[in-house]
Structure 1
Amino acid sequence: MPLVIVALGIIVLLILIMKFNINTFISLVVVSFLIALALGMPINEIVKSIETGMGGTLGSIALVFGLGAILGKLIADSGGAQRIAMTLIEKFGLKYIQWAVVVASFILGIALFFEVGLVLLIPIVYQISKQIKVPFLYLGLPMSAALSATHAFLPPHPGPTVIANEFGANVGLVLLYGFLIAIPIVIIAGPIFTKFAKKFVPKAFDKDSTSGSIASIGETKQFKLEDTPGFGISAFTALFPVILMAFSTIVKLSRDANDTENVFFDLVTMIGSPTTVMLLSVLLAIYTMGIARKIPMKQLMESAENAVRAIGMMLLILGAGGALKQVLINGGVGDYVAVLFEGSAISPLILAWLIAAVIRVAQGSATVAALTTAGLVIPMMAGTDVNLELMVLATGAGSIIASHVNDTGFWIVKESFGLTMKETFATWTVLETVISVSGLGFVLLLSLFV
């Protein structure tokens, strides 16, 4: 019965969002109340459970996301992102233009949220495709694959960061393992999948770059290349969070191996936490993308304010997703799932992927799907020796499967590339599914060694 209640709750969530066009944040809060009541939770505990879930989620991620949005905006508004993309394209040459787009998108995808990356890179890819006379989608699909893979598997993106926090996983190891699986996934879902897509949906590739509505995804600044910061400093600034997290993880592994404790290790642990990493990265970006280029501080802070303003609703949605997760835990749904699969031969990794996939298809948001899955599988993980970092990645893989009409990314891709509904399903929806399924495959493969 608890699973039936959850299923009905997700259906209600879908109806509220899709049929009645009610904001996702409001819909999540309403459904959290309805599920709590249906599960028979004591009435005097429902509000407390929802507030605890929302506060607990936002308490651990609001700083990371706010600082992450500011970092991405500073890199974009300074022209650093454009410099990275154009330099790689120049170095790779026209013959390997797809790979240039993939590498540029992967680097920028680490620092930028998925939607921000699309908004930033689509106009650049648009100009490239126009100049070298190749189909817009030929470059657009590999770009989208790289952005989607970083979004699903690499901290400090919402999904992996939030799930790592909920599972108590090491964020640095999630980043390390995420890199190991994201690189082959991007190759498979990017250039390789594009070849097959071109055969099966040729009409989508016949469209020129003017078919898409670039204006539909917001304003993007274009710069003369000589007015942008250098490639080295731009790439270093974008990759600085990864460098800090990687350094912290290596030091932590060394400490664990030697079983030692001192002030140095404590300091490195603090520096390697996502909040400190993003704060230091933003301070670096303020200097490299702003002060060093004589950009007034007032202008830099305007970019910062605009970045935070843009993610306000996303933070509320994430918080509401955490509230729903807490209701599922406090309402006993997670314990029910644990009992249901007690003694089951199904790997917790596969189960986490499966649950996240079902919820993703039902309600659209990858991050909400990941959070809801956490509430269901945390009790089930008790007493098992499953690798927590791989659980994060398996959940992340499941949470991006089969993007369709209830996902914002679906509509951004459709409108940007000028695709029909059928073409969007045959390209973008299949691409997301390829990333999801291959992600699970590589997680299972990695589980044999870690």
Structure 2
Amino acid sequence: MSNPDYCTWKMNRVSKIFHPTDSLLQKTRNVLGSKNQSLLVDYGLMKPLDKGTFYYLPILQRSINKTSALIKRFMHKIDAQEISIPNLTPVELWTQSGRFDVYGSELFTLKDRHEKPLLLGPTFEESITHMMTLGQNIGEKQLPFRLYQIGNKFRDENARYGLLRSKEFIMKDLYTFDVDIESATRTYEEVNDIYRKLFTFLGVPYEKVEADATDMGGHLSHEYHYLASIGEQSLQTCSSCGETSIDSTETTDDVSECPKCKSKELQKNRGIEVGHAFLLGDTYTKKQKANFLKAGKPVPMQMGCYGIGVTRLIGAAIEKLATESHIRWPFPIAPFSVCIIPPEKRSKAFSSASHYLEEVHDRLNTVPGLQDSILVDDRIRVPIGDRFRNARRLGIPLVVIIGKKASDTENPQFELHFIQEEKECNLSLNDLINEVTKYSQEKHKEN
């Protein structure tokens, strides 16, 4: 039910959000082994359906939506066009490419009513290449094409660590098509540059590493990693030149050295892959006859593929930033940017300062980048301290408290808490709006 003590203007209210919490935080972390899964499950942001599959509940879904919108914005900066690719893929496409046996047990396979073998797409190189062959007379001047989708993928693998490795997950796939390997290489560099800008904008330290492209049948590959102790990839960073590379000697007795400068002064780390880039050339287009017309003759297009794991990116960022008991988000993809906590019902400030709630909410809701990103903890019968601790646990970056000091008729003051920076200040209403605006602008600034 709506709280009768306040007007029913449009607000995101804690009392109306579905997020069933679990008090067994430490117990579940010991079982699950990762901060992102323990915190997201225990604080009611996601719940497991089965091993490796999850319900994404409203608060987490907001972050997924923000992350997807952010990725789309950066894709459009390089003139990529959004499409949708069916998840159901004919097995014959994978047989033709030679990857059906390679993927083997990771594939979810099924048959339709006509006994036609299908699989749930773990990736879509075969499908997108097939699409490029369908009745199109693509001319040389039409290229390049840059086509992307954001959707679900399915891999029957050893699911663990929550959003870091699950059987069903959300991913952005960009596929590019060029006339020759030189222009495809320029596209590769352009996409990697937009990836650099995107990951820098998110504000989480990352490493770009050169990777092996042979598994995908390509010429060149790079991966983007967040360093974390539970990362599956072994990495090494050179103390001499600063280059980070994949540690190819993890399971051998060979001595590691930096591929760039050959130094053996290396620091070992583990990384969570959150993005990748492959220059595929004509590996897929030649087999499937995905051609363009050059001087009237068919020529295979040169292809690249570029992925960002949407849900994995969120999980990896939480794994990197969170404390043992508090979620932390990159500001641009936090489900809510600001939480407002009005006075408690039993307090003296309730009658004298509650009227500020609507004004604070409405003014902050007009700040660029904060629209529909304001949460109000309207549970006025819960003490302010308990509500503040809840906002901290959920990782909301900024918390505004309308408390005792706001009831001063001559100089009302509002508490502003910067959660990740662990600092607070008391400000007038105008100064509060200005400070939050400044903070938001800084966090939304693109380099």
TM-score, normalization by structure 1:
0.23
User: Greater share of strand residues, 1 or 2?
Assistant: 2
Considering Cα pairs closer than 8 Å and 6+ residues apart, tell me whether 1 or 2 has the greater RCO.
1
User: Greater share of helix residues, 1 or 2?
Assistant: 1
TM-score, normalization by structure 2:
0.23
